[in-house]
Structures are given as C-alpha cells and as structure tokens.
C-alpha cells in the first residue's frame, strides 16, 4: 500500500507557507452486511472524547504503526514522511473531533521529531538535533478540516491528519513530519531513512504524551508495514494457549440507522500474540483448517449489567463461515434468526489496505433505550478450533457513545 497525496483547496497563505495536503488510506470496512464494502463509505459519527492519561516522555504511549513512508522528497522544498496508526491506551483517532475543532476540548500542545540515516543515530536535520514544535493549531473547518499543524522557525512542519474529518475517507490518524531544510548530502548518500516523533495532548490539565517511530523507509516511497498493520502471517500450528482478551486500537459504533434496522459496532485489534490475524488465511477459506465455531455478544447500558438487546438477553451465534472467496474474500460471519450478525474481517485478505483484524457486531433489533448520545458497553466472545486445539477470545469495549441516527 502506498500513501498518496491528495490535492486540497486551502487558503493560499497556508498552502504556500506550509505545503499543506493530506494523505488517505483506502476505504474502511463499514459497508455491506456480508463483508467490507467496495463502493464508497458513509461519514461516521464521532463517539465521544477519550479521557487522557497523565504521563511523560519516559512512559509515553506507543503509536502502533500501521504504515510509514517517505512520501515526497523535493530538493530544496520538502522531505515529507508520514506514519499511520494509533495508540491502544488512548486513541489519537478518538481525539480528532475534540482536537480538530474551533473550540477544542483536547489540545496538542507540542511535540518533537527527528529523521535519521536508516540504522544510525545520524540526524539529517540541519542542526543534527531533533526538531521542537509548539502547539499544533487547527486552521478552521473552512480552511483545512481534520488536521492540526505546527511549524518551526525554519518552516519544518509537524501535522496530525484525521482522514475522515478531512474528507478523505475513513482511516487511522496520520502523523506527518515534513522538513523544509535538511542535510542533503547525508540524505543523498543514504538509501533509507528512520523517523521518530512525540506529541503531547492536554485535557483539563492532564497531559498525555505519545511516541512513534518507523525504520528503514526507502526513499522511493515504498511503505514499511508495522505491527499494527496486521500483515497476513502463516497459520499457527496450534491455538493452544492463545486465547484471551483482544487489545483494541479502536472501538466504535460506526453506523446507527434505525430506518434500516442497522446498529453496527466494530472493534479493531488482536491478542498480544497476533493469533486472530495469523489465522485469517486458514479461517476465511472455503476449506478452513481453523474454524470459528460460534460466539456470543451482548450490549449493555454503560457501567451496568442491563442488557439493551431486543429481548435483554445475550445473542448467540453458530459457526462463522466464509461466504466464498469469489463473493466476499477475507471474512467469516454468522447471522442469528433475527438478522443480527457477528463477523471477523481481515482487511489484507479482503482486498483492503493491511490492518489489524476487525470484529463486527451488527444488530438488526435493539431496546428502545438505545438513543443518540447514550453510551454502551459491548462484550463479545469468539470460539475457535484448530488442529487438535481450541481457544476462546473476548472483546470488551466500554463507554461507546451512540452517534447521530440516520
């Protein structure tokens, strides 16, 4: 997958001074009930602001890299690097509507960045030191929606792009580091570059620092896929000992359409060992060697044990099966008698940009308590069998706010 630049209409002053633009990933899996759609995506509603965690650079939250690339080198003009992904503990993606706003409730108050000759500690900045940026500013909805940006005295840029808010389609946040000046001799002599960065967000006096990096990015623009990209791995020999809770990088209600009997929740993540991702090729198959034999799901009023499914009881699903690789590759799903759906999507197998597995729960009916602005907790289980082994995986997401009904 290559990160492309998209032409944007922006205020001439900002475009000239900063060389603005934005970068998008391909469509997110939020369309057809039977699998990830291919014909465009709907704007999704924000599901509330996350609560920041007090920390500092020494225990900063790690950015789970999906992809990193040197997307542009123009001698004497710009050297642009972009990394996409998110943090698990506090989602930068969820910060978007609260930070890229005219009246923000979360502010990104500054950050640092450095670019190195790959595999070394030789910085290619003009000073040989990391760059420092002050507060990342929102330029305005009518100028550049969905981004925050800062530049230093030399014109180097640090930027956060939320693709969906920027009108580029759904995708993980992008952190852009753009050099206006650099040590060209060092860059010309190297085949690849490394980048490291940190960003600090503030909310009601609490500060959270994030840090990210990507190594060995070729100057020809070929992307480097990180652990968060969920590149497809060989099937594991056994599922024994692999069960447990998925570590989520994102969890949200991505569609709420009462008129179409559709409430769609998606969680993105995997167990620490990456087992869900690894079994994709042998589970989403017409002759699977790993089978998801069933699962359960329940939705509660946030912070309670009160179920808000249609009958107030947990949902039960039989075996999740592939609809056929010629119909919808890269997924397995099951539907109950009411039309509720439990589904697993492996984006890289489904013809979408590589990404961590997506577990989708789609309700066809629900309690009248479900309304825009109210928060829910979601619980799911997935049961799997493989060669001589079995495992159970759990998904848990709390305080997910219901978006505007459409």
Averaged pLDDT, 124-151: 94
R_g over Cα of the chain: 22
pLDDT tier for residue 355 given thresholds of 50, 70 and 90? confident
pLDDT tier for residue 223 given thresholds of 50, 70 and 90? confident
pLDDT tier for residue 280 given thresholds of 50, 70 and 90? confident
Nearest Cα to Cα of residue 23 among 61, 64, 70, 78: 70
Most confident stretch, 142-146, 279-283, 372-376: 372-376
pLDDT tens per residue, range 358-367 = 999 999 999 9
For residue 226, the model assigns a pLDDT of 75
Measured CA to CA, the distance from residue 195 to residue 309 in angstroms comes to: 46
For the CA atoms of 22, 27, 31, 37, the dihedral, rounded to the nearest 10 degrees, stands at: 150
pTM of this structure: 0.52
For residue 176, the model assigns a pLDDT of 97
């Amino acid at each position: 997958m290559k990160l492309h630049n998209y032409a944007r209409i922006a205020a001439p002053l900002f475009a000239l001074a900063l060389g603005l633009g934005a970068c998008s990933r391909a469509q997110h899996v939020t369309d057809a009930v039977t699998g990830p759609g291919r014909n465009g995506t709907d704007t999704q509603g924000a599901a509330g602001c996350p609560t920041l965690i007090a920390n500092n650079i020494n225990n900063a939250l790690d950015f789970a890299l999906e992809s990193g690339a040197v997307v542009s080198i123009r001698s004497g003009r710009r050297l642009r690097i972009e990394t996409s992904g998110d943090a698990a503990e506090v989602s930068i993606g969820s910060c978007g509507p609260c930070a890229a706003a005219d009246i923000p409730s979360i502010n990104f108050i500054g950050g640092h960045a450095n670019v190195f000759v790959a595999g070394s500690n030789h910085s290619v900045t003009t000073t040989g030191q990391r760059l420092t940026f002050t507060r990342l500013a929102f330029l305005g909805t009518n100028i550049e929606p969905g981004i925050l940006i800062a530049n230093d005295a030399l014109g180097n840029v640090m930027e956060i792009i939320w693709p969906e808010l920027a009108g580029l389609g759904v995708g993980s946040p992008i952190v852009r580091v753009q050099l206006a000046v650099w040590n060209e001799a060092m860059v010309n002599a190297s085949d690849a570059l490394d980048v490291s960065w940190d960003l600090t967000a503030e909310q009601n006096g609490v500060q959270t620092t994030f840090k990210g990096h990507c190594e060995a990015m070729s100057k020809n623009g070929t992307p480097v896929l990180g652990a968060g990209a969920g590149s497809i791995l060989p099937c594991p020999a056994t599922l024994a000992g692999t069960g447990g809770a998925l570590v989520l990088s994102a969890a949200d209600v991505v569609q709420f359409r009462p008129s179409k009997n559709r409430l769609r929740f998606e969680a993105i993540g995997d167990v620490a060992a990456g087992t869900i991702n690894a079994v994709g090729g042998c589970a989403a198959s017409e002759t699977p060697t790993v089978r998801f034999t069933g699962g359960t799901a329940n939705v509660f009023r946030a912070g309670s044990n009160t179920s808000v499914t249609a009958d107030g009881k947990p949902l039960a699903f039989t075996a999740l099966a592939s609809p056929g690789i010629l119909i919808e590759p890269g997924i397995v799903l099951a539907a109950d008698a009411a039309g509720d759906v439990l589904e697993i999507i492996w984006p890289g197998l489904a013809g979408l940009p590589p990404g961590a597995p997506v577990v989708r729960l789609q309700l066809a009916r629900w309690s009248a308590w479900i309304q825009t602005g109210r928060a829910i907790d979601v619980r799911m289980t997935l049961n799997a069998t493989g060669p001589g082994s079995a495992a159970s995986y759990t998904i848990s997401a709390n305080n997910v706010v219901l978006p505007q009904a459409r």
